[in-house]
Amino acid sequence: MLGLSVFITACATNPATGERHINLFSESQEIQMGKDADQQISASLGLYPDQELAEYIQELGLVLASKSERPNLPWTFRVLDDPTVNAFALPGGYIYVTRGILTYLNSEAELAGVVGHEIGHVTAQHSVHRMSSQQLAQLGLGVGMVLSPELARYGQLASTGLQLMFLKFSRDDETQADELGLRYMGRENYDAQEMVSVMAMLDGVSQSAGGGRIPEWLSTHPNPGNRKEHIQGMIAMNEDAYSGSMVNRDRYLDHIDGLVFGQNPREGFFRENIFYHPDLKFRFDFPQGWQTTNMKQGVVGISPAQDAIIQIFLTDKQSIEEAANEFFSQQGITAGTQRKGAINGLPEISGEFAVTTEQGIL
């Protein structure tokens, strides 16, 4: 009876489809979760310093969100100073596009396709559904509970902001978000065929990488297969709903005029799974298949199973002993054996530790 009660309590109605799904979070909790993570991600990845562009993205996003099933969420749309081809959504209406993806789009209608897709993830509560399923399976948000003192100031970044950022959707989620994105585009009279162009662009970026790093958007938004054909099929089946013709190419290109393209190598950069920092004169090989990001405060990698994390960051301490002591003295950490050694001739300290989290001891 107890297990049945928990299951019933965990079921809720999907606002976008009317279907029942698992959700352990109230709408106010969903909004607060997104708000907290938004502060962390904005501070860590950095916002692109172009107020006019930011206002343009916010305005377009609000128009599309007003056509959704959840128009009253505190919708917030941001441009990240990140060269990767990516866009993602947090619970509660926080949506991000990178300057990297903006440089590959060719019209406002294409942008509407990307943003509408992310709005679809929020209206259908895909993130909170995935998180609820994980918690019910006792997986929780264990990865990343332990942070460096430098990154900890941003409020448990790896366990919330980055966890949400790297949260992978299912193929069914992607198909549903595509359908919802098309719905919102159609309601605002955008040319729905422009979403097909976005998928073609992502395929092109992936192929041009020569089998290397795929676009970040595809790494967290798995391709359900025949995606372009599926979108074209949806348009053909309901031509009246997707009869819009608005593209606004010139308007879009005017707003991204002067946008920085590519990575700034002096801030470090990735080539496939290898991170290079020319100014600091070091490189680091992350394991193949890990999701990585180069943030303002450091570099983070998360394993495919989200059960391990690697962080690289600078410290203001004068010695490795001081830096290690600061890390191992954090609240909730029980330090174990520590060892001194050398890596490529440089001194290092490694150690074992346990950390007490809301999910137990790790």
- Residues taking part in catalysis: 118, 178
Q: What are the backbone dihedrals phi and psi of residue 339, each rounded to the nearest 5 degrees, phi first?
A: -135, 140
- What is the C-alpha radius of gyration for the chain, rounded to an integer number of angstroms? 21
Q: How many CB atoms lie within 10 A of CB 342?
A: 8
Is the distance from CB of 330 to CB of 149 less than 8 angstroms?
yes
How far apart, in whole angstroms, are the C-alpha atoms of residue 327 and residue 333?
A: 9
Exposure class string for 61-73: b at 16+ Cβ within 10 A, else e: beebbeebbbeeb
To 5 degrees, how large is the angle CA 133–CA 139–CA 144?
Answer: 120
Answer positive or negative: Cα dihedral of 159, 220, 268, 309: positive
* CA atoms of 285 and 276, how far apart (whole Å): 9
> Could you tell me how far CA 323 lies from the centroid of its own chain?
30
d(CA 325, CA 274): 29
Write 100-105 long-range contacts (CB < 8 A, 24+). 101/215, 101/217, 102/256, 102/259, 103/256, 103/259, 103/261, 104/201, 104/205, 105/198, 105/201, 105/252, 105/256
154 near 297, Cβ under 8 Å? yes
Q: Tell me how many degrees the CA angle 354-297-140 measures, rounded to the nearest 5.
A: 40
Sign of the CA dihedral running 177, 135, 299, 151: positive
